[in-house]
Structure 1
Amino acid sequence: MAWEEWDQLKGEALERQQGMQLNQYPADAGPGGAPPLPSETGDLKVTQQDLAKIGSHAHTLHNQLWDRARLDNTSVGKAAGDLSTQGFALGSGLQEVYNQWSKQLDSVLDACAQISNHMQVTKKIHAGDEAYIYRQMSSIDTLDAGFDERSGPPGGQNPIYGDKKK
């Protein structure tokens, strides 16, 4: 490698490195420009209804796949076996398709069940968190109200501490 070629490669690498940006969008990120700041968009908000809807859809999809997509009660496996015993290469191919379909369907069914169950658990945890926060905030209000009760006139010394003159 010639010295000039080495200098050229170093220069190109430096240009690429200077153009690289990590953990942020470039200032001119497409037609919309830079994404808005979190303070401009507000907080993420998920309601119990949102979680329930997601869980319900996942449960419905699981049930429909279970009823309509399973090949267990069909004659596909039997046909694959019959074709194989008769010497047709198609039998082993059909058996492979049957096996792969079953594996993939099981994966999708598991994912739907996990999503549905996760939404149920998330609803319960979220409700528990809300109740905990409410209890904590209401106890602070009660404690704060206790400090507002005065034993003496505002600005005066509390008589419980005794008379300073004595």
Structure 2
Amino acid sequence: MAWEEWEQLKAQAADRHSTRMQLNQYPADQGGGSTQGDLVVGHKDLEQVGHAAHDLFGHFTTYSGHARVASEAAAGGLKGEGFALGGALEHVTERWSEQTKSLLDACAHISNHLRYTKNQHAADDSYIAGAVSSIATLDKGFDDRKGH
């Protein structure tokens, strides 16, 4: 391969790469403060998410139960009168019940996980405070021995 051919191949490769997509970084500071990173969540934020999941669980349990009972009654009435729509509504009601259980399980999981996380962080904070306090006590003991 001649040098000119090599240079030509490099130029062609560079031309092909210039049409590729390039992802740029989001500007560091948009006037919102000096927080680093993509995600910042405080205890208040987590409490609100947990509270919303708990509320959704409670309200959806009540309202989905009303919808299920009414749909089951309608399906039974339609089937009793010989309408094929009754069987179809019964099928929809069964799927509704399954999906309701999935959503309620997800809400409970979110709420329970956030409660567990809150308790675990409190335990971690307590442990760290005790460890730091012990180190400070040791340091003070060393300082006393040195005559400070």
Q: Aligned pair count?
A: 126
1:102 maps to 2:97:
yes
**Native 8 Å contact 1:59 1:112 kept in 2:** yes
Alpha carbons of 1:102 and 1:43: their partners in 2 closer, same or farther (altered >3 Å)? closer
Q: Percent identity?
A: 42
Q: 1:139 is matched with which residue?
A: 134
2:70 to 66, 75, 96: 75
The structure with the largest alpha-carbon Rg is: 1
Q: Which digits, 9 at most, give the CA deviation of each residue in 1:4-52, with x for residues without a partner?
A: xxxxxxxxxxx9xxx8xxxxxx9821xxx13579xx8249654322221
SS at match of 2:53: helix
One-letter identity of the residue aligned with 1:78:
A
Alpha carbons of 1:150 and 1:36: their partners in 2 closer, same or farther (altered >3 Å)? farther
- Runs of 5+ in structure 1 lacking a partner? 1-14, 20-25, 155-166
**Native 8 Å contact 2:68 2:93 kept in 1:** no
1:124 to 99, 119, 142: 119
Q: What is the root-mean-square deviation in Å for CA atoms of aligned residues? A: 3.0
> TM-score normalised to the size of structure 1?
0.63
Distance in 2, matches of 1:46 and 1:147, equals: 39
1:54 maps to 2:49:
yes
- Runs of 5+ in structure 2 lacking a partner? 1-12, 29-34
Greater share of helix residues, 1 or 2? Answer: 2
1:112 maps to 2:107:
yes
**Native 8 Å contact 1:71 1:98 kept in 2:** no
> TM-score normalised to the size of structure 2?
0.70
Q: 2:36 is matched with which residue?
A: 41
Pairwise mapping of residues 86-97 of structure 1 onto structure 2 (< 5 A)?
86-97=81-92
